[in-house]
Structures are given as structure tokens and as C-alpha cells.
């Protein structure tokens, strides 16, 4: 069965520093991977996705994510954090070969400290 793990419930980063939000996954086939963000009192918004090809995926708001097949990871990164990046981040996976339902991680709350 497919699964996704976000090992950190919360990540604190000083403004201007690089940030990483971790995600690992498990699927029987090849994965489609997604990152979504939920700002306070707003719905989830799509950030980026990995389908195939280049392991470094660029998305909205300066975020990027690196697909690592050997480590089954898809960590979200940003070179310089902004206070406005403070939000709840969700990683999600869907098994490409089975076209099964999408599975979301439990979320990581990102706090950017001014």
C-alpha cells in the first residue's frame, strides 16, 4: 500500500535562511508527488509536482523540491525563507502504475521567525 510520511510536525526557520520540509513516500510503482500549502483560514493551494524527468522541480512562490528515488524522498526547499511562508505544508503521493487514490501526509507546520 502506498504511504507518505512527513517526519516533522513543525519546523522553525529564521527569515532569510534556507528552509527544508521533509517528505518520504512508499509506493509499489513509480510515484506522482505533490506539495500543497495551507495558509491560515484559506484552502489548500498547489505548489508543485513531480511527474518524471528532472529530479529538481520548481514551483510557486520560489519553492522547489528534489525527487530522490533511492531515498524515496521529495523534500521541499526554498533558498531564503520569508515570514509569509509560515503555513501548513502537505506532501502527497499517488502510485503512477496503479492510479490509486492520492495519499496526503499529516502536514508540517512551518514557522518563519522574523
Out of 5, 44, 72, 75, name the contact with another protein by CB under 8 A. Answer: 44
Q: Mask: binding to another protein, 73-92, rule CB under 8 A, as x and -?
A: -----------------x--
CA distance 32 to 11: 25
Q: Which three cell numbers stand for residue 15?
A: 527569515
- Count of residues near another protein by CB under 8 A: 22
| Nearest CB to another protein, comparing residues 35 and 85 | 35
The pair phi, psi for residue 83, each rounded to 5°, is -55, -35
Q: Residue 56, interface with another protein (CB under 8 A)?
A: no
Out of 49, 75, 77, 111, name the contact with another protein by CB under 8 A. Answer: 49
DSSP per-residue string spanning 36-66: EEE-TTS-EEEEEEE-SS-SEEE-GGG-EEE
Q: Minimal distance in Å, beta carbon 38 to another protein? A: 8
| Nearest CB to another protein, comparing residues 20 and 59 | 59
Q: Compute the C-alpha angle 82/58/20, nearest 5°.
A: 50
The pair phi, psi for residue 32, each rounded to 5°, is -100, 130
Residues that bind another protein (CB under 8 A): 32, 34, 36, 42-46, 49, 51, 90, 94, 96, 99-107
Amino acid at each position: 500500500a502506498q504511504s507518505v510520511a512527513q517526519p516533522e510536525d513543525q519546523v522553525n526557520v529564521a527569515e532569510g535562511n534556507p528552509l527544508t520540509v521533509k517528505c518520504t513516500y512508499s509506493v509499489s510503482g513509480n510515484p506522482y508527488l505533490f506539495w500543497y500549502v495551507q495558509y491560515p483560514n484559506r484552502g489548500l493551494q498547489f505548489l508543485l509536482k513531480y511527474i518524471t524527468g528532472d529530479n529538481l522541480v520548481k514551483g510557486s512562490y520560489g519553492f522547489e523540491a528534489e525527487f530522490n528515488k533511492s531515498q524515496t524522498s521529495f523534500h521541499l526547499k526554498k533558498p531564503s525563507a520569508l515570514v509569509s511562508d509560515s503555513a501548513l505544508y502537505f506532501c502527497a503521493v499517488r502510485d503512477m502504475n496503479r492510479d490509486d487514490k492520492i495519499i496526503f501526509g499529516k502536514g508540517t507546520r512551518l514557522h518563519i521567525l522574523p
